C-alpha cells in the first residue's frame, strides 16, 4: 500500500498538517496532500482539524528516535489526528513501546497497514478522542458500530487476532528452527562433499600424471626409433632412388655420386663402436606434472541465461528451452555433456525417471540398476566439477525411491509450471492467464531454480521501463499513482530531468528513476500522462507477449484480442527494436511480430 492510500481516507476534517519528524526523511513527497495544504513545524498542541506527522524506526538518523516520538504524542488534543510511519518490518513492529503513550494521551489507532517502500514498512493513523471511535476496515472505511458495540468488537478482535498470531508465531519459530537445522546439515554435507571432491580430484591428478609420464616415455622411445631409421643407410638409399625416379634427367646423373658418398660414410663408421639400438638420441626430458589441454573453448560474452543439463521429460525440456539453455543427457553421454556444456545446474526430474518410456525409464525404482549407477556417476561428476545437482520432485517420492538416496544439493517440490502458450485465452479466461503468469508459469519455476544456483534470473526478462515526461506536480502525482498502482510494477521510469521532480516515492518503492536510454528489456511509452491506464495494463500486455512471443504488443481500433496483426498502437515494445530506430509502420514489413490484445474487459 502507498502512504497516500493509507492517509487520504482520514483527511476529511484536516485543514493543516504539522510535521513532527526528527530524522532526515521527508514525508510530504509521499502524502500528495490537497492543494494549499503544506506541512509546517511548530511546538504548539495539535487539536481539531490538524494532522501530526511522526516517524519511528531502527535508524534514528533517518527515521527519528523513540523519545522524540513519545514527546510529540504529548501535544495531542481531542479532535487532532496523527500519522505515524515505521521503519521496522511488520513482523518486528515495536508497537508495545508506543502503546502506553497512545492510551495515556487518549489516542485511538484507526487504521494500520503495510507499506511497499524500501525504508518504510508500516504506517498507522490515530486520533485523539474522548470517546471510543468506530474502527475502520482494510480500505479505510469506518465500520457501522458505536459505543458498547465498538468496544465489544475491538475486544473480540483482539482476543481472536492474538490467538491466531500466537499459533502463527509458534509455527514461524518451528520453521526457523527447521531452517537452521537444515542449513547446518547442508553445510556439513557440503563440507564432507568438498572433502570427497578434493580427494577425487587428487586421485584424478595422480592418474593423469602417471598416464602423462608413461606417454612421454613412449614418445621418447618412438623418437629414438625414428632418429635411428632416418639415419639408416637403407632409408637414405631409398630416398636417393625415389628422388632419381621423380626427375630422371637430373636425378640419374647425381645418383652415382650420392651412392658413392653413402658408401664412403658407411666405411668410415665401421671402425666406430656401434650404438645400442635402444639408446635414445637425446636425454629424456624431466617429468612435467602439469596437465596441458590441446583445446579449450572460450566465450567472451557474459552468460545471461540459465544453462541446464539434465534428465527431463519432452514437455519440460521444450517449455524450459524458452527461457534457458537446455541440454538433455542420455545414459551413455551424460558424463561427457556435463563436462563439455559447463551447466549452471544438473537437473533431474522425477517424472522423467519414473516414466514408463524414455531413455531414463525406471531409474530409481530398483528395476534398472545400470541406469541407477549411471545417474549416480552423473551426479557425482557434476558435484565434482562444482555444479549443483538438483532433484525436481514433481511426483510422489515413492515412484522412484532410489533417487532420494543420491547426494542432491537441493530438492524442489512441485510441478514444473505451465507455459502460457499452452493455454487458451478464450477457454481459460483472462484471470487464468494472469494467475499462471504471476504464480505458476515455467518462468516463475525457473526463477526458483536460478535463485538456488546463482544463475541469471529469468524473471528479469519481464522488467519494463516507462518513458514519461511530467511537466508539473499534477503530472508527477499521476505518474506515481499509475506506476505504483500497476499489478505488474515497472522496474524503471525514464524522464528527461529527474533532478527537479519529486519522484522520491518511486525510488522508495524500488523503482529506478533516471535519465538517458532505458535498460529494461521492455519499454512502455507513458509520455501522455492524461491518459487513464488501468492497474492491469502492463500485466495484460506481458501476459500477451509471453503467450505469443511477439516483439510488440498493443491495441488496435478494431479491438483485436490475442491475434497477430500488421499494424497496431504500440504499448509495449522490445528495447532492441526501439534502439534500431525503425519507424513503427515498418516493423511488420521488417519481420517483427505485432500482437494485439484487447484494451478493456467486456462489462
The CA-CA-CA angle for residues 93, 98, 99, to 5°, reads: 100
Asked whether residue 170 is assigned to any structural domain, the reply reads: no
> 310 and 236 in one domain?
no
Asked whether residue 358 is assigned to any structural domain, the reply reads: yes
Mean pLDDT of 380-404: 92
154, 157, 159, 164: CA torsion to nearest 10: -160
What's the burial of 257, exposed, middle or buried (CB within 10 Å: 0-12/13-18/19+)?
exposed
Q: Is 61 helix (H, G, I), strand (E, B) or coil?
A: helix
At residue 532, does pLDDT exceed 80? yes
Mean pLDDT of 554-577: 95
In whole numbers, what is the pLDDT of the chain averaged over residues?
85
How far, in Å, CA of 347 to CA of 319, rounded? 14
Of 384, 388, 389, whose CA–CA distance to 403 is shortest?
389
> 463 and 418 in one domain?
no
Give the pLDDT band of residue 246 (cuts 50, 70, 90): low
Residue 20, pLDDT score? 93
The three three-digit cell numbers of residue 65, written as one number: 528516535
Higher pLDDT, 190 or 352: 352
Q: State pLDDT tens for residues 110-133.
A: 888 899 898 999 999 999 999 888
Give the pLDDT band of residue 230 (cuts 50, 70, 90): low
> 394 and 482 in one domain?
no
Residue 102, pLDDT score? 92
How far, in Å, CA of 340 to CA of 190, rounded? 24
Asked whether residue 285 is assigned to any structural domain, the reply reads: no
Residue 468, pLDDT score? 95
Asked whether residue 162 is assigned to any structural domain, the reply reads: no
Mean pLDDT of 74-103: 90
Where does a domain end: 144, 179, 209? 144
Of 535, 553, 534, 529, whose CA–CA distance to 543 is shortest?
553
How far, in Å, CA of 120 to CA of 112, rounded? 13
- The phi, psi pair for 112, rounded to 5°, reads -135, 145
- The phi, psi pair for 595, rounded to 5°, reads -125, 130
CA distance readout (Å), 221 to 118, 204, 214, 277: 72, 26, 11, 10
Mean pLDDT of 457-466: 96
- The phi, psi pair for 323, rounded to 5°, reads -120, 0
Where does a domain end: 269, 292, 326? 269
Q: State pLDDT tens for residues 2-43.
A: 999 889 888 888 889 999 999 888 898 898 888 878 889 999
> 10 and 136 in one domain?
yes
Range of the domain at 74: 3-144
> 590 and 462 in one domain?
yes
At residue 284, does pLDDT exceed 70? no
> 510 and 421 in one domain?
no
Residue 75, pLDDT score? 94
CA neighbours within 13 Å on the CB side: how many for 49? 3
At residue 277, does pLDDT exceed 50? no
What's the burial of 241, exposed, middle or buried (CB within 10 Å: 0-12/13-18/19+)?
middle
* Beta-carbon contacts of residue 274 (< 8 Å; ≥ 6 apart): none
For residue 393, the cross-strand partners are 413
Residue 89, pLDDT score? 85
How far, in Å, CA of 74 to CA of 368, rounded? 77
> 587 and 537 in one domain?
yes
DSSP strand pairing (512-514 vs 492-494): parallel
CA distance readout (Å), 428 to 423, 433, 434, 436, 563: 7, 7, 10, 11, 16
Residue 296, pLDDT score? 35
Count of domains for the chain: 4
> 403 and 348 in one domain?
yes
> 98 and 45 in one domain?
yes
Mean pLDDT of 302-310: 86
The three three-digit cell numbers of residue 140, written as one number: 479505510
Answer yes or no: are the C-beta atoms of 341 and 350 closer than 8 Å. no
At residue 290, does pLDDT exceed 50? no
Higher pLDDT, 187 or 371: 371
Exposed e or buried b per residue across 193-216, where buried means at least 16 C-beta atoms within 10 angstroms of its C-beta = beeebeeeeeeeeeeeeeebeeee
Asked whether residue 194 is assigned to any structural domain, the reply reads: no
Distance of CA 402 to the CA centre of its chain: 31
Give the pLDDT band of residue 311 (cuts 50, 70, 90): very high
Asked whether residue 437 is assigned to any structural domain, the reply reads: no
The CATH number assigned to the domain holding 47 equals 3.40.50
Higher pLDDT, 105 or 222: 105
343 phi-psi bin (left φ>0, alpha ψ -120 to 50, beta other): beta
Where does a domain end: 249, 269, 289? 269
> 397 and 524 in one domain?
no
> 477 and 420 in one domain?
no
Higher pLDDT, 164 or 567: 567
Answer yes or no: are the C-beta atoms of 130 and 78 closer than 8 Å. yes
How far, in Å, CA of 124 to CA of 175, rounded? 29
Asked whether residue 209 is assigned to any structural domain, the reply reads: no
Residue 303, pLDDT score? 75
Asked whether residue 219 is assigned to any structural domain, the reply reads: no
Residue 146, pLDDT score? 66
DSSP strand pairing (107-114 vs 563-564): unpaired
Answer yes or no: are the C-beta atoms of 320 and 309 closer than 8 Å. no
Higher pLDDT, 107 or 147: 107
Distance of CA 257 to the CA centre of its chain: 81
**Inter-residue long-range contacts of 243-249, CB under 8 Å, 24+ positions, other chains counted:** none
> 133 and 70 in one domain?
yes
Mean pLDDT of 418-447: 94
Residue 265, pLDDT score? 64
Residue 235, pLDDT score? 66
Amino acid at each position: 500500500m502507498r502512504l497516500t492510500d493509507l492517509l487520504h481516507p482520514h483527511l476529511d476534517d484536516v485543514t493543516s498538517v504539522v510535521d513532527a519528524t526528527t530524522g532526515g526523511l521527508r514525508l510530504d513527497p509521499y502524502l500528495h496532500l490537497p492543494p494549499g495544504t503544506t506541512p509546517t513545524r511548530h511546538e504548539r498542541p495539535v487539536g481539531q482539524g490538524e494532522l501530526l506527522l511522526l516517524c519511528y524506526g531502527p535508524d534514528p538518523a533517518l527515521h527519528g528516535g523513540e523519545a522524540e516520538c513519545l514527546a510529540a504524542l504529548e501535544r495531542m488534543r481531542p479532535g487532532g489526528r496523527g500519522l505515524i510511519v515505521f521503519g521496522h518490518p511488520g513482523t518486528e513492529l515495536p508497537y508495545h513501546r508506543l502503546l502506553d503513550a497512545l492510551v495515556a494521551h487518549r489516542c485511538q489507532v484507526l487504521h494500520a497497514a503495510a507499506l511497499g517502500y524500501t525504508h518504510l514498512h508500516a504506517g498507522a493513523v490515530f486520533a485523539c478522542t474522548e470517546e471510543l471511535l468506530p474502527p475502520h476496515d482494510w480500505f479505510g472505511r469506518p465500520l457501522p458500530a458505536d459505543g458498547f458495540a465498538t468496544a465489544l468488537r475491538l475486544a473480540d478482535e483482539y482476543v481472536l487476532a492474538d490467538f491466531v498470531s500466537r499459533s502463527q508465531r509458534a509455527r514461524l519459530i518451528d520453521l526457523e528452527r527447521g531452517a537452521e537445522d537444515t542449513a547446518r546439515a547442508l553445510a556439513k554435507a557440503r563440507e564432507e562433499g568438498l572433502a570427497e571432491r578434493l580427494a577425487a580430484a587428487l586421485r584424478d591428478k595422480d592418474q593423469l600424471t602417471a598416464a602423462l609420464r608413461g606417454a612421454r616415455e613412449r614418445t621418447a622411445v618412438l623418437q629414438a626409433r625414428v632418429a635411428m631409421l632416418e639415419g639408416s643407410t637403407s632409408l637414405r638409399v631409398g630416398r636417393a632412388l625415389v628422388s632419381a625416379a621423380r626427375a630422371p634427367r637430373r636425378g640419374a646423373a647425381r645418383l652415382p655420386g650420392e651412392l658413392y658418398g653413402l658408401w664412403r660414410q658407411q666405411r668410415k663408421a665401421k671402425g666406430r663402436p656401434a650404438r645400442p639400438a635402444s639408446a635414445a638420441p637425446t636425454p629424456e626430458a624431466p617429468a612435467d606434472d602439469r596437465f596441458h589441454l590441446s583445446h579449450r573453448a572460450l566465450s567472451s560474452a557474459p552468460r545471461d541465461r540459465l544453462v541446464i543439463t539434465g534428465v527431463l521429460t519432452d514437455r519440460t525440456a521444450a517449455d524450459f528451452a524458452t527461457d534457458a539453455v537446455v541440454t538433455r543427457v542420455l545414459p551413455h553421454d551424460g558424463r561427457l555433456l556435463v563436462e563439455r556444456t559447463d551447466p549452471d545446474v544438473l537437473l533431474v526430474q522425477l517424472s522423467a525417471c519414473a516414466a514408463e518410456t524414455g531413455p531414463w525409464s525406471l531409474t530409481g525404482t530398483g528395476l534398472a540398476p545400470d541406469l541407477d549407477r549411471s545417474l549416480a556417476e552423473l551426479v557425482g561428476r557434476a558435484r565434482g566439477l562444482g555444479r549443483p545437482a538438483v532433484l525436481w520432485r514433481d511426483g510422489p517420492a515413492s515412484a522412484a525411491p532410489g533417487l532420494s538416496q543420491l547426494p542432491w544439493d537441493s530438492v524442489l517440490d512441485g510441478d514444473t509450471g505451465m507455459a502460457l502458450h499452452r493455454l487458451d485465452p478464450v477457454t481459460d479466461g483472462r484471470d487464468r492467464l494472469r494467475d499462471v503468469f504471476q504464480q505458476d508459469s515455467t518462468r516463475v519455476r525457473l526463477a526458483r531454480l536460478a535463485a538456488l544456483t546463482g544463475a541469471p534470473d529469468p524473471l528479469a526478462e519481464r522488467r519494463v521501463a516507462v518513458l514519461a515526461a511530467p511537466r508539473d506536480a499534477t503530472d508527477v502525482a499521476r505518474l506515481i499513482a499509475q506506476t505504483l498502482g500497476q499489478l505488474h510494477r515497472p522496474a524503471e521510469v525514464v524522464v528527461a530531468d529527474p533532478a527537479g521532480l519529486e519522484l522520491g516515492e518511486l525510488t522508495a518503492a524500488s523503482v529506478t528513476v533516471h535519465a538517458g536510454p532505458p535498460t529494461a528489456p521492455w519499454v512502455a511509452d507513458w509520455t501522455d500522462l492524461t491518459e487513464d491506464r488501468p492497474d492491469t495494463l502492463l500485466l495484460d500486455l506481458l501476459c500477451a507477449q509471453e503467450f505469443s512471443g511477439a516483439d510488440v504488443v498493443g491495441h488496435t481500433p478494431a479491438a483485436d484480442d490475442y491475434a497477430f496483426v500488421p499494424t497496431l498502437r504500440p504499448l509495449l515494445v522490445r528495447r532492441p527494436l526501439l534502439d534500431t530506430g525503425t519507424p513503427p509502420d515498418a516493423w511488420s514489413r521488417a519481420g517483427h511480430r505485432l500482437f494485439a490484445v484487447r484494451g478493456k474487459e467486456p462489462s
